Amino acid sequence: MDQVLGQVLRNAVWERLDMLTDLANRADAQSLVSVARSELPRLTEAWRAMLKMHEPDERGDCPTCSTRWHRCKAPCSVWQVAHEHLVAGGLAPQQQAPADRRLQGRRKSPVPVHPAPTAAETTGRHALVNPRRAVTA
């Protein structure tokens, strides 16, 4: 049941982001101002809440990304993505350091890549449940 609720939550967030992207790309100037006034404070508060969870502890580790067996030194991938998108603006792609290339296969991307769903997998823009991963009760 938690998987279904988690999928519903994720789909709602992806759909909201898709809607905001569509508005940014297609809306007229007056609509953009209205959306910016209502959505920018919400988005900045969301970033602040997420980044607060990833603030380094007294040892300089990210408490959210660290596990019992592997400590994740700050800045973690969440802070790196935040800096890239909010400060650097993705102006220049950064080259991966050689040490990072070794770990590339083991790390998950901080921004998920979603394959295009087939017609059978969706009831709307995003599927409520991914049939490729059957949920068992």
Name the domain count of the chain: 2
Q: Is residue 2 part of a domain?
A: yes
**Are residues 4 and 33 part of one domain?**
yes
Q: Are residues 4 and 36 in the same domain?
A: yes
Q: Is residue 73 part of a domain?
A: yes
Q: Is residue 11 part of a domain?
A: yes
Model confidence band, residue 2 (pLDDT cutoffs 50, 70, 90): confident
Between the alpha carbon of residue 84 and those of residues 28, 34, 62, 79, the distances in Å are 28, 26, 18, 9
Which residues, other chains included, contact 36 with Cβ-Cβ below 8 Å and sequence gap of 6+? none
State pTM to two decimals.
0.60
Convert the pLDDT of each residue in 118-133 to its tens digit: 444 444 444 444 444 4
How many helices (H) and strands (E) are present in the chain, helices listed first?
Answer: 4, 0
| Mean per-residue pLDDT of the chain | 77
Cβ 24 vs Cβ 32: under 8 Å: yes
% residues pLDDT > 70 (the chain): 64
Say whether both 1 and 33 belong to one domain.
yes
Taking only the tens place, the pLDDT of each residue in 48-71 is 999 999 999 999 999 999 999 999
CA–CA separation, 137 and 129 (whole Å): 14
Segments forming the whole domain that contains residue 11: 1-40
pLDDT given at position 13? 95
Predicted confidence (pLDDT) per residue in 13-37, tens digit:
999 999 999 999 999 999 999 999 9
- Mean pLDDT along residues 97-112: 45
